[in-house]
Structure 1
């Protein structure tokens, strides 16, 4: 009789555990409703006292980078992609009083990306060259990252849609701090050359920024398989 009672109690205890497990599963599932399973970090290069490149038309790279990054953020969120921005205004990530704000700012960007651990990090920049005729968007990736190369190839293809004359290909790099120090696939998108009059003038227009942002968004979605 005692053994039978113990058996019944054991069965009831087991049933209780199963019911609790189901409730926990339902709770976790409900908590995740509406939350994206994909995370992308968008890094608008430069900011604050660091203007980045200054165009032949006096346009500041930091302003163009941020404008495009915000547009990409909006487009990705419309597609249900979770986005983290390294900056949302004209600021530096370096702490006040840092002895070298540019270096501290870059370290902070890397730390943020590594902390968030996204599927992909995209750093948005503008290019410059000593010859005015050079133009065209180009994507850079870390030489020793296979996933970085895969993402860069996909993004470069998307960026070519902005300019039929652009024949540039994704390019490996060993030296860029952001590419070397991040622990996730990271690419740098150089949207155009501020040293080229035609491209510099395009890059400050809302219409062309929308076009660039659309291409970057499409490149990210293609890489994520969306």
Structure 2
């Protein structure tokens, strides 16, 4: 009888210990999550953070090139390469998406979620990667947008535009202010939109479909980001 009572007591003690450990673990996880949401820097390797935002995804393919390529795919491939380059520069990077899924069921909710990530993590800079399109197939060249009135945004856009223009000076364009694009308007951090080329231009669409050219674009964007971060 005493032996049975001892076993029951031991089981009760073990159950109590497990409950305490589970509770402590939950509190620890909640604490880590809260810290991360508050600062966006918990557990990171440097004091510089960049959020990369590959535009579109999932059922939202974005623009479609004259050669059939989809913007969402080009955006992601370039963003992943930018991430790789920046991490080698000891810069922390978070992507809003790393696969072919958008972040919400509707386009509006998707954009809201992207902005929420930026505003929660509070990066030094957010860079949204896109491809352009226009009714005139002859128009080409990368162009960087920033929120009108944002000095930091304008400077960051200028640094990235400078590097993109060096890919082919004959296609050089100038940065452009905007006050209506949702991400530019609603992000609380410096943010730029890099339209890396025109999928409506046959020559540029073919280039953007090539892995080597995607790497060239990624290196230019990353180089501009590093230039701006170092000059802050």
The TM-score bracket by the shorter chain reads 0.7 to 0.9
Counterpart of 2:160 (choices 155, 158, 175) is 155
Alignment-derived partner of residue 38 in structure 1: 48
Looking at structure 1, the residues matched to 147 and 166 of structure 2 have their Cα atoms a distance apart, in angstroms, of: 23
Deviation at residue 205 of structure 1 after TM alignment: 0.2
Give the conservation status (yes or no) of the 8 Å contact 2:156–2:228: yes
Q: 3-state DSSP class of the match of 1:165?
A: helix
Looking at structure 2, the residues matched to 220 and 149 of structure 1 have their Cα atoms a distance apart, in angstroms, of: 12
Alignment-derived partner of residue 105 in structure 1: 110
Looking at structure 1, the residues matched to 138 and 49 of structure 2 have their Cα atoms a distance apart, in angstroms, of: 37
Following TM superposition, where does structure 1 have runs of at least 4 consecutive aligned residues deviating by more than 3 angstroms?
Answer: none
Q: 3-state DSSP class of the match of 2:170?
A: coil
| 1:143 and 2:148 aligned | yes
| 1:91 and 2:127 aligned | no
Give the conservation status (yes or no) of the 8 Å contact 2:197–2:208: yes
Give the conservation status (yes or no) of the 8 Å contact 2:142–2:172: no
Q: Aligned ranges for residues 4-83 of structure 1 at < 5 Å?
A: 35-83=45-93
Provide structure 1 residue ranges, at least 5 long, that are not aligned to the other structure.
1-31
Q: 3-state DSSP class of the match of 2:110?
A: helix
| 1:214 and 2:219 aligned | yes
Alignment-derived partner of residue 184 in structure 1: 189
Deviation at residue 167 of structure 1 after TM alignment: 2.5
Name the CA shift for 1:34/1:84 in 2 (closer, same or farther; >3 Å). closer
Alignment-derived partner of residue 125 in structure 2: 120
Deviation at residue 143 of structure 1 after TM alignment: 0.4
TM-score (norm 2): 0.80
Alignment-derived partner of residue 225 in structure 1: 230
Provide structure 2 residue ranges, at least 5 long, that are not aligned to the other structure.
1-41
Q: 3-state DSSP class of the match of 2:57?
A: coil
Give the conservation status (yes or no) of the 8 Å contact 2:157–2:192: yes
Looking at structure 2, the residues matched to 117 and 63 of structure 1 have their Cα atoms a distance apart, in angstroms, of: 26
When the two chains are superposed, the root-mean-square deviation of aligned CA atoms in Å is 1.4
Give the conservation status (yes or no) of the 8 Å contact 2:63–2:70: yes
Q: Deviations over 1:8-65 (max 9, x none)?
A: xxxxxxxxxxxxxxxxxxxxxxxx9981110000000000000000010011000000
